[in-house]
Structure 1
């Protein structure tokens, strides 16, 4: 009888763990069924949406949009098919000659094209530059860029001169707690929020990193970096604020509220802090979870306080594009055969909830969407896509 009770207890424990796993991963598991090939319902309410500049930029991951002045900076790495430390691609760590930061004066809708910023004081770093998330601080004209360099992740800082399309490298931030930095949001000129998308680095342990992803283990983190910009020396002070599964995009909804996307959890978590995240970890608390029908990547907030969310409807399709990308980057590859993965762009407001804007294959592997509501212009970029998607009629929304 004792053995029978032990077996029953073991089965009960396993069923409890399975139930907990299925419940906590219900969002991402539903995407595998609802968004499978042949089942995804394409949808588009973006006015005049189309893809531009396919021959100028590709594989752009993040966008910063300056709506006051009408320009945007894109973080692009055409070598992502050979080196992607998030997806686990380690074929060739050499920086692609077109990898870099591109400025796009979108307010000039007739003549503007993305222009690659010229680096200065960054000769050695440019050879190892694999840009991901970016954030700009207008007060200091400083652009912070996550760099998944071959010799370890770090954050690069640049002083941007918009008129001359120049980026002066002013520093590199490295810290043991920046294990897998992905996205950045500036609290002030001297304080940044940074997401670490994984606890286990895939370049060190592919098995543990994949288990962390597929089991949606809440091990990734949001940290605050306090920088001593007056001395410009020494490591930053790092404070861990929250843990969640596959922390990805981060954006400030207002002075005391931040949104963080959980790619593995198919959700965006909303945290609040009465002191603008400037105290210890106990000062931040989860106040809302926005469940999504897709896997979110980066986040942005427009001037109407709407949260824009871009991401992937179907993870296996994104994985397939990631694995095939290097082959299709070869000169003799037939680009018409290049696989694509659908994109999903949505917006969320506390008043109206979640609203889909774009779902489909006309633009692939979306990671970031931004919008200038005053000018009625929007942009989106894709992790392995050529060009950028633009939309809008050029009038106020």
Structure 2
């Protein structure tokens, strides 16, 4: 009888796991989709997408994780220029506190600046969008110097966010740093007058920063931060397998918190408040806040879903609203100016693991948008067929929702671009920026053609 009871419990737990994780198991573990070399929504991947290069001998612009806009505004908050910041770590195959291994933490990662409007004033307007032209050829990424960075302090950047600059003022810049001892959040200031220099302000550390991954700013001195695991790979003995089980089993041990800092950079206790706003999430990865500030989205990598929350803008409290399934393991997420959520991620997790181990050279990429449906939509039930322009439509992998429309923006088998982590779309130009976790050329830029 005892054996039967144990067997029944085992079958029950297994059935629950398979039901709960069915889309991740089917789409990202058991199925390897026949993607094209490169697909760009509404355009031509080969002529409208390019990867950025590091022209120095260091080859540091590879294995990039996150990308964000740095908006330069006038004193009335009108956008004057939009620059792009992104983080890379050329030593990621030797030091990755999320996927492993933890062999060599010494080489520093890097922070990069890309200014898409650079030199545009002297060119024809169409030069904003094409790639075989003078303007695009002259725009090169620049590595940002980390001034006053503590000597001997590791720098392995993941999530990055920066507050806009107003009327030329400096901006607060925050970067998650997966250092050897523990994970920190580094604060810098960066100025439009010297945009290739970020001055280190302070290192933020807390017992609550167990496994920070991504950030979403709510003010120049406050942010949401995701903690992707409760047990990390730095733990002796159990760190080799427990975090893996936490990921595979989809254990709800991660969380998102809101942090408020003392604006005085010399304050002995810089963290004024820390409040868990979204607990019990399986592998919470990317976190994003809408342009209006009324919505927050969190990516659950283990469950292949995006969790949508309503936000109290006064208290920063979050109320869960709904989940949207995506056809891959989502990584980082960002809202565009029109409140469409852009999601980047990994369509086949096992191939990504093989890339880490050096078995294969690249892994597939998938980026899509989730856009709220218009209030006047006449739909009474979710559509069966959607995202029909994509080579592998999302409708062939996950069901739709009534509340939002899903459209694939980018797909690649890894040949065109490998291991997408983030999608960042500029609503003013339509440009799409995609970093690759293990892409040798770490940032892809795609621009739509002019009509």
Q: TM-score with structure 2 length normalisation?
A: 0.78
> How many residue pairs align between the two structures?
371
SS of aligned partner of 1:30: helix
Report the counterpart of residue 354 of structure 1 in structure 2: 406
Report the counterpart of residue 245 of structure 1 in structure 2: 282
Please say if 1:189 is aligned against 2:189.
no
Q: How far off is 1:368 after superposition?
A: 1.1
Distance 1:277 1:101 in 2: 32
Report the counterpart of residue 107 of structure 1 in structure 2: 117
Within 5 Å, give how 1:361-372 maps onto structure 2. 361=414, 362-372=416-426
Please say if 1:267 is aligned against 2:305.
yes
Q: How far off is 1:107 after superposition?
A: 2.0
Q: How far off is 1:354 after superposition?
A: 1.3
Give yes or no for contact 2:52–2:445 (8 Å, CA) kept in 1: no
Distance 1:212 1:162 in 2: 42
Q: How far off is 1:122 after superposition?
A: 0.8
Aligned counterpart for 2:163 among listed residues 137, 145, 151: 137
Within 5 Å, give how 1:67-78 maps onto structure 2. 68=79, 69-78=81-90
Aligned counterpart for 1:17 among listed residues 13, 23, 46: 13
* Of 172-181 and 337-346, the range deviating more from structure 2: 337-346
Distance 1:347 1:10 in 2: 44
Aligned counterpart for 2:67 among listed residues 63, 66, 84: 63
Within 5 Å, give how 1:139-178 maps onto structure 2. 141-164=171-194, 165-178=196-209
Please say if 1:118 is aligned against 2:152.
no
Within 5 Å, give how 1:198-217 maps onto structure 2. 198-204=229-235, 205-217=239-251
Structure 2, unmatched stretches of 5+, are: 56-60, 72-78, 119-134, 374-403
Q: Deviations over 1:25-54 (max 9, x none)?
A: 112111146632xx3344723334323223
SS of aligned partner of 1:80: coil
Report the counterpart of residue 330 of structure 1 in structure 2: none
Change over 3 Å in CA distance of 1:12–1:193 after alignment to 2? same
Q: How far off is 1:393 after superposition?
A: 3.2
Distance 1:395 1:123 in 2: 46
Give yes or no for contact 2:211–2:232 (8 Å, CA) kept in 1: yes
Q: How far off is 1:222 after superposition?
A: 0.3
Change over 3 Å in CA distance of 1:375–1:395 after alignment to 2? farther
SS of aligned partner of 1:29: helix
Report the counterpart of residue 328 of structure 1 in structure 2: none
Q: Deviations over 1:346-382 (max 9, x none)?
A: 0001215211122222100111111112122121110
Structure 1, unmatched stretches of 5+, are: 325-336
Distance 1:203 1:145 in 2: 20
Report the counterpart of residue 314 of structure 1 in structure 2: 348
Report the counterpart of residue 384 of structure 1 in structure 2: 438
Q: Deviations over 1:199-255 (max 9, x none)?
A: 101121122111101101010110111111136420412111122111100101242
Please say if 1:345 is aligned against 2:372.
no
SS of aligned partner of 2:25: helix
* Of 25-34 and 259-268, the range deviating more from structure 2: 25-34
Q: Deviations over 1:96-129 (max 9, x none)?
A: 4xx211100012352211101112111415x511
Give yes or no for contact 1:295–1:311 (8 Å, CA) kept in 2: yes
Distance 2:69 2:44 in 1: 19
Distance 1:19 1:367 in 2: 31
SS of aligned partner of 1:20: helix
Distance 2:315 2:353 in 1: 35
Aligned counterpart for 2:34 among listed residues 37, 40, 52: 40
Distance 1:210 1:123 in 2: 32
Report the counterpart of residue 334 of structure 1 in structure 2: none
Distance 1:24 1:124 in 2: 46
Report the counterpart of residue 380 of structure 2 in structure 1: none
Aligned counterpart for 1:79 among listed residues 86, 91, 106: 91
Q: TM-score with structure 1 length normalisation?
A: 0.88
Distance 2:348 2:315 in 1: 34
Report the counterpart of residue 376 of structure 2 in structure 1: none
Give yes or no for contact 2:28–2:329 (8 Å, CA) kept in 1: no
Change over 3 Å in CA distance of 1:267–1:44 after alignment to 2? same
Distance 2:270 2:191 in 1: 26
Distance 1:389 1:304 in 2: 22
Give yes or no for contact 1:376–1:395 (8 Å, CA) kept in 2: no
Distance 1:174 1:100 in 2: 20
Give yes or no for contact 2:53–2:141 (8 Å, CA) kept in 1: no
